Amino acid sequence: MKVKLFLKVADSTVHGKHPLLTKQEKMGYLWSKEPPPPEQMMETGWCEINWGTIQNNEMKKNLRKLQLKNPAVEHLRILVIGPVRAGKSSFIQSVKSMFKNRMVNAACTVAAGGCTRYTKKFTTNQFEDERGNILPFVISDVMGLGDSGVHPKDIISALKGHLKEGYTFNPVRPCSEEDTGYNSSPTLNDKVHCLVFVIPLDNFTANNSYADERTPHQGLIKTMQDIQHKACDLRIPQVVILTKVDLACPHVKEDIKHVYRSQTIRQKAQACSDVLEIPISDIFLVKNYHEEKQLNPDMDAVLLFTLRDILNYANDFVENINKPEGAGD
């Protein structure tokens, strides 16, 4: 079954959709353990990144000085969600390191090897530049999705700004109005302005009970779709970050500059776009700092490219929040 599925996907065109596959099969392909087809790189990338330290510095300066489009907002709030070990905390750490211009210690936030330092509390991260200036956005981190993970209702509460900082997640009981961790009168600052699904491109390994042979990852897909629909109702913009791109393509592992040229990654991004119904233009590729000892300008460029669009979407959201539906979109 898996081999058949793999061949069907490998046969399809790079840019085409995969009409023969169900949503579950597509997500199965995304996390397939099958070896990738012999890698072919596309002539031109499907996103153009401006490489170089000068360009990075310019982008960083623009993000530092980003004008918030709603005077009631002190910072833009991004929420990252996704399965355990997707790279959510690593993404946050990578952004911290990039703006600080040096590696930031990740020991307390990122799940190392066999250890289970998973995020259990609702945690909001601020960012500083190398001079200690606070940047105009925050990223909130939650416990991973999936079995024994965050309750989906807690994600909805977080979107609406109902979770207080430090709220401890309980997978079997979502936060309710009686809880001390419940914020009953959230301001626009507490609400989420852009929702980011973080999905890893490597294989899910043991202990993920949603890896059902017949309906791979069905529970997780359903949860993500439900959250996505709710975010749409709230008109919150959404993007996907596909992490661990280095594990999906050997050329990308060798040189991150190839990231938007890899056919394997493009096919996986298309499968993800089809499943979550998020346009391919809102699917970003990221390699987090995870084993590096020093910053790499090309990795920074990919992170900045991603972050710039997320912050622009968040800024558009706060600008349009009080406008009637349809206006300003």
Ligand X SMILES: Nc1nc2c(ncn2[C@@H]2O[C@H](COP(=O)(O)OP(=O)(O)O)[C@@H](O)[C@H]2O)c(=O)[nH]1
∠ CA 318-237-78, rounded to 5°: 70
Tell me which residue of 142, 96, 90 sits closest to 112, measured CA to CA. 90
- Structure tokens that stand for 133 in this block: 């200036």
One DSSP character per residue, 230-291 reads HHHHTT--EEEEEE-HHHH-HHHHH-GGGGGGBHHHHHHHHHHHHHHT--GGGEEE----SS
Q: What is the dihedral of CA 7, 8, 10, 15, to 10 degrees?
A: 180
Closest approach, Cβ 329 to ligand X, in A, equals: 31
Residue type, 152: P
The answer to whether the beta carbons of residues 198 and 241 sit under 8 Å apart is: yes
Pairing of strands 134-141, 76-81: parallel
- Structure tokens that stand for 106 in this block: 């990740």
How far is 291 from 306, CA to CA, in rounded Å? 21
**Among 21-29, 59-67, 89-97, 217-225, which window interacts with Mg ion (CB under 5 A)?**
89-97
320 binds Mg ion (CB under 5 A): no
How far is 49 from 261, CA to CA, in rounded Å? 11
Binding partner of 193, given Mg ion, ligand X, none, CB within 5-8 angstroms per partner class:
none
* Residue number, 191 or 287, with CB nearest to ligand X: 287
How far is 227 from 234, CA to CA, in rounded Å? 11
Closest approach, Cβ 88 to Mg ion, in A, equals: 5
267 binds Mg ion (CB under 5 A): no
Tokens 């500083």 locate to: 128
- Structure tokens that stand for 243 in this block: 């992490």
* Residue number, 51 or 118, with CB nearest to ligand X: 118
Closest approach, Cβ 249 to ligand X, in A, equals: 12
273 binds Mg ion (CB under 5 A): no
* Residue number, 213 or 291, with CB nearest to Mg ion: 291
* Residue number, 88 or 244, with CB nearest to Mg ion: 88
Judged by the rule CB under 6 A, the positions of this chain that interact with ligand X are 82, 84-90, 110-112, 118-119, 144, 243-244, 246-247, 287-288, 290
**Among 111-119, 262-270, 278-286, 321-329, which window interacts with Mg ion (CB under 5 A)?**
111-119
Binding partner of 51, given Mg ion, ligand X, none, CB within 5-8 angstroms per partner class:
none
89 binds Mg ion (CB under 5 A): yes
Binding partner of 18, given ligand X, Mg ion, none, CB within 5-8 angstroms per partner class:
none
How far is 90 from 306, CA to CA, in rounded Å? 15
Closest approach, Cβ 287 to ligand X, in A, equals: 4
Closest approach, Cβ 16 to ligand X, in A, equals: 27
Binding partner of 86, given Mg ion, ligand X, none, CB within 5-8 angstroms per partner class:
ligand X
* Residue number, 25 or 246, with CB nearest to ligand X: 246
Binding partner of 85, given Mg ion, ligand X, none, CB within 5-8 angstroms per partner class:
ligand X
The packing angle between helices 2-11 and 23-30, to 10°, is 90
Binding partner of 154, given ligand X, Mg ion, none, CB within 5-8 angstroms per partner class:
none
Closest approach, Cβ 81 to ligand X, in A, equals: 9
For Mg ion (CB under 5 A), the number of binding residues is: 3
* Residue number, 63 or 95, with CB nearest to ligand X: 95
How far is 196 from 81, CA to CA, in rounded Å? 6
Tell me which residue of 192, 227, 224, 231 sits closest to 314, measured CA to CA. 192
119 binds Mg ion (CB under 5 A): yes
Binding site for Mg ion (CB under 5 A): 88-89, 119
